[in-house]
Amino acid sequence: MLNDTDPYVILMTLVITFTCGLFIWSATPNQDTKHLSQIRYFSHFFFFTSFSWLFVFLRSMDWQQIYIFGTHICYLLSLLFLMNGFRIRANQKAIHVAWLLVLSAGFAYIQANILNDQQEDFIFRLLMTYVAWFLVAIMVVRSLRRERNSIGKTATSISLLFSLFALFVGVILLHQKVIIQFEYIVFSYNVFYITLFGSISSLMLSDEIARHQTDAETDPLTGLKNRRYFLERGEKLLQSGRRADFPMSIILCDIDRFKRINDTYGHSKGDEAIKKTTKILADNVRDDDLLARFGGEEFIALLPQTDLQAAMDVAERMRSRIEDSQIKVPNSSFNLTTSFGVVEMIGVDLEANIARADKALYAAKSHGRNRVEIARD
């Protein structure tokens, strides 16, 4: 029973769970609201778990009803925080903390009054624990079905399976009287905490990897893919296009007299011009097209299954809509214009085809700007 258990074992479990909570809380402090929200719930799971073990420690020295109640409410509240963390990851609405508290208090009161002495039924307590874990596992699995992070999804699934396996092994050891009842409880919980901490850490780590990869591939001002990503992805699209034997075209776009815009109206208006151009270009490409910011005021689009005439039509539509747009400045406004170079892909050398599009763009600039030109091979 509790009084026969080494209190240092309980304290060690308390320290482990609290440390896990601190690690998760402090690992990624400056992230978006959604990310911070799930970090808060996951860390609170470990914090309230450590509080429940604090009450267990107090119970081991002085069996009072308040300690029983505190143990159960902290334990149940921690499980509900865990469930909310996975709900947030799955873009589901979190259960309000007030409801968590009321629900936990209700269950804790019932458990504390049913299991109210040192001779409480161990099988019943074990059954309640299994039911709670089973319900949480269902919630987690349902949330993981919407999880886009494949690495974290796999890690969490393995964690749950490993936890269940450890519980099964613990039952065998308990049945063979290798360990006593409370040792089994501590063993089972620690396996659950450690594997869950590993899976949550895997989710966070893979989130960070994905975020850094996105940052490396994305232009921060426009949100478009950058030049490096375009060249890497464009090569793959070009190869697949050649295998499928369908036409592909490149559109190269440059904002006319962009330096004059910066010099006359300031860099903030130059950034606004880039953003407005970005939006118009993005509104006129398909989901399968690859659009990127290729340079300072230069943009590029790769259009699969698009021949030269179709690409020219797209470029002309872009040019016309950009020409109709305005940038407001104090007491006035100015119109944007852009020049376009368009080519249909020849061969499998992406950079050679980009050079052809650049020559077409240069021709558009030379012929007065605000126009679409094709490569004159």
| Alpha-carbon torsion, ordered 277, 370, 340, 270, to 10 deg | -30
The distance between the two most distant Cα atoms of the chain, rounded to a whole number of Å, is 94
Strands 290-293 and 338-344, bridge-based pairing: unpaired
Token pair, residue 41, equals 């719930």
Instruction: Among 58-72, 143-157, 247-261, name the most confident range.
Output: 247-261
pLDDT number for residue 304: 92
227-374 topology per CATH: Alpha-Beta Plaits (3.30.70)
Answer yes or no: is pLDDT of 121 > 50: no
- 129-178 pLDDT, tens digit each: 666 667 666 766 766 666 666 666 676 677 677 767 766 776 676 666 66
- pLDDT tens digit string along 3-23? 445 677 778 788 888 888 888
Distance of CA 83 to the CA centre of its chain: 17
- Who contacts 160 (Cβ-Cβ below 8 Å, separation ≥6)? 137, 140, 141, 195, 199
CA torsion sign for 130, 133, 138, 144 is negative
- The mean pLDDT value for 111-124 works out to 53
pLDDT of residue 16: 81
Count of other CB atoms within 10 angstroms of residue 105: 15
With cut-offs at 50, 70 and 90, classify the pLDDT of residue 2: very low
**CA 102/CA 77 separation, integer angstroms:** 9
Q: How confident is the model at residue 119 (pLDDT cuts 50, 70, 90)?
A: very low
pTM given for the model: 0.59
Q: What is the mean pLDDT of residues 31-60?
A: 79
User: Do the beta carbons of residue 117 and residue 123 sit within 8 Å?
Assistant: no
* pLDDT for the residue numbered 74: 80
DSSP 228-284: HHHHHHHHHHHHHHHHHT--EEEEEEEETTHHHHHHHH-HHHHHHHHHHHHHHHHHT
Whole-angstrom distance, CA of residue 147 vs CA of residue 70: 34
Residue 1: per-residue pLDDT: 40
> Does 297 participate in catalysis according to the annotation?
yes
Neighbours of 335 (CB within 10 A): 11
* Residue-level pLDDT at 170: 66
User: Could you give the CA distance from residue 329 to residue 64 in angstroms, rounded to a whole number?
Assistant: 73
Q: How would you classify the pairing of strands 338-344 and 372-374?
A: parallel
- Please provide the CATH number assigned to the domain covering 2-217: 1.20.1070
Q: What is the pLDDT of residues 184-231, one digit of tens each?
A: 666 666 767 776 777 777 677 667 767 777 777 889 899 999 999 999
Asked whether the predicted pLDDT for residue 24 surpasses 90, the reply is no
Q: Which residues of 158-183 are buried (b: 16+ CB within 10 A; e: fewer)?
A: ebbebbbebbeebeeebeeeeeeebb
Catalytic residue among 147, 297, 344, 373: 297
Of 241, 261, 259, 258, which Cα lies nearest the Cα of 250? 241
Please, are residues 220 and 278 in contact by the beta-carbon 8 Å criterion?
Answer: no
Domain limits, the chain: 2-217, 227-374
CA distance 294 to 85: 39
